[in-house]
Amino acid sequence: MARNFKELRAKMDPERRARVERRVQEALKTMPLEGLRDARQLTQAQLAQVLRVSQGSVSKVERRTDMYISTLRSYVRAIGGDLQIRAVFPEGDVVIDQFEDLSPTAIK
């Protein structure tokens, strides 16, 4: 008989539960757009409706490796976030703010 995750988790020792939780939190720090949309519990069709584009357009954006910053910002804002661009250096991070005034462009 299959057991659900809550039952298995309840039987884990606290140290193991903490390790699993840390791994989950680390995994959530980096993910592709599709994973981010899924984590926000949105379908491509729902996101397309918010962005006023076709579901196919959302799919194309999720598969792109190169896009306009304004397109990415529109996507992130449509799922409830905000886009921040930062440079990472050994001595610390720097937020690059020259893109804050970009007007959103439609996802095509």
Q: Can you give the CATH number for the domain in which 82 is found?
A: 1.10.260.40
Which contiguous run of DSSP H or E holds residue 89? strand 85-89
The reply to whether 39 falls in a domain is yes
Residue 85 is encoded by which pair of tokens? 């661009």
Do residues 32 and 62 touch, judged by C-beta distance below 8 A? yes
Say what the pLDDT of residue 72 is. 94
Q: Residues 25-42: pLDDT tens digits?
A: 887 778 899 999 998 999
Measured CA to CA, the distance from residue 34 to residue 22 in angstroms comes to 22
Among candidates 52, 60, 59, which has minimal Cα distance to 104? 52
Angle 31-35-37 from CA coordinates, rounded to 5°: 120
Do residues 75 and 42 touch, judged by C-beta distance below 8 A? no
The reply to whether 11 falls in a domain is no
Say what the pLDDT of residue 32 is. 92
How many structural domains is the chain composed of?
1
Model confidence band, residue 2 (pLDDT cutoffs 50, 70, 90) = low
Residue range(s) defining the domain that contains residue 45 = 31-96
The reply to whether 87 falls in a domain is yes
The reply to whether 19 falls in a domain is no
Model confidence band, residue 4 (pLDDT cutoffs 50, 70, 90) = confident
Q: Residues 16-75: pLDDT tens digits?
A: 889 988 888 887 778 899 999 998 999 999 999 999 999 999 999 999 999 999 999 999
